[in-house]
């Protein structure tokens, strides 16, 4: 059987595991460390996990939807996979770098391809102070939480919180509050991608807050700094004519 240098990774969903068996039968089993391409079978959650796992590998990642949402995935087809990979359009995604300091003074570092979120831990709303590039922009935000999203992540949690969608290749970030109580009418802010955001938790003992970078959670934080990591990226592949830029643009005209 011809070796195509393709590694297949599947979520725990039965459909994803079944698809992996079928594709390995057609194209062989290649260990991820020897593969040129990594094919992720599942939904967007599995794709995010794969992006984190292979960020420093230099391998291109091609997703096929065997999950529920699949915004970052291509349609599932078994046939002509090497040809699809050869003709696919690439998009390089850079992560956010998060440093969260907890109430004991310990610093926790993580990266996020979609967003960094700060979320209240208990029944009382969070009180947050927001600074951008060393200047306080919002002295006090009372809310359920706040999101700092990349263009790729702007169609995820940010969109659900009524934040704006960013073009995928734009040099931008977006900050969006979650259920803002005061100031009630503040909706979001769009920043240059090189901006450095500092979010300080006010009254942290009474109003504890957790920080989440994609799937990595840190509880009881007192401050969180967020900036784009310009030194790292991951390459995603999309079928010709259905690249990520087109998907993001189409999402803005959905109703």
Q: Catalytic residue numbers?
A: 44
* Contacts (Cβ under 8 Å, ≥6 apart) of 243: 89, 91
> At 232, is the secondary structure helix, strand, or coil?
coil
> What is the end-to-end Cα distance of the chain in Å, rounded?
47
Q: Taking a C-beta distance cutoff of 8 angstroms, is the pair 67, 43 a contact?
A: yes
**Dihedral angle sign, alpha carbons of residues 102, 185, 149, 74:** positive
Residue 25 gets which letter from DSSP?
A: H
Q: How many CB atoms lie within 10 A of CB 138?
A: 18
Three-class SS string for 145-207?
EEEEECCCHHHCHHHHCCCCCCCCCCCEEEEEEECCCECCCCCCEEEECCCCEEEEEECCCCC
Would you give the DSSP letter of residue 225?
A: E
**Adjacent-strand bridge partners of 7:** 38
State how far the Cα of 8 lies from the Cα of 76, in Å rounded to an integer. 13
Contact 208, 122 (CB under 8 A): yes
């Amino acid at each position: 059987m011809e070796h195509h240098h393709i590694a297949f990774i599947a979520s725990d969903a039965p459909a994803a595991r079944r698809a992996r068996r079928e594709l390995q039968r057609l194209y062989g089993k290649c260990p991820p460390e020897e593969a040129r391409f990594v094919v992720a079978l599942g939904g967007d959650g599995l794709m995010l996990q794969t992006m984190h796992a292979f960020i420093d590998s230099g391998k291109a990642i091609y997703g096929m939807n065997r999950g529920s949402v699949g915004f970052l995935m291509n349609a599932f087809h078994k046939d002509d996979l090497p040809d699809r990979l050869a003709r696919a359009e690439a998009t390089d995604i850079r992560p956010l770098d998060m440093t969260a300091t907890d109430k004991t003074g310990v610093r926790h570092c993580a990266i996020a391809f979609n967003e960094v979120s700060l979320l209240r831990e208990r029944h009382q709303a969070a009180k947050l102070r927001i600074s951008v590039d060393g200047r306080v922009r919002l002295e006090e935000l009372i809310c359920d939480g706040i999101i700092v999203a990349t263009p790729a992540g702007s169609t995820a949690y940010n969109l659900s919180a009524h934040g704006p969608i960013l073009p995928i290749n734009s040099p931008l970030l977006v900050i969006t509050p979650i259920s803002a109580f005061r100031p009630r009418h503040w909706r979001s802010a769009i920043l240059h991608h090189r901006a450095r955001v500092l979010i300080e938790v006010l009254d942290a003992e009474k109003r504890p807050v957790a920080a989440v970078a994609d799937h990595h959670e840190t509880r009881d934080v007192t401050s969180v700094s967020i900036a784009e990591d310009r030194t790292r990226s991951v390459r995603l592949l999309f079928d010709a004519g259905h690249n990520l830029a087109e998907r993001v643009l189409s999402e803005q005209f959905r109703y």
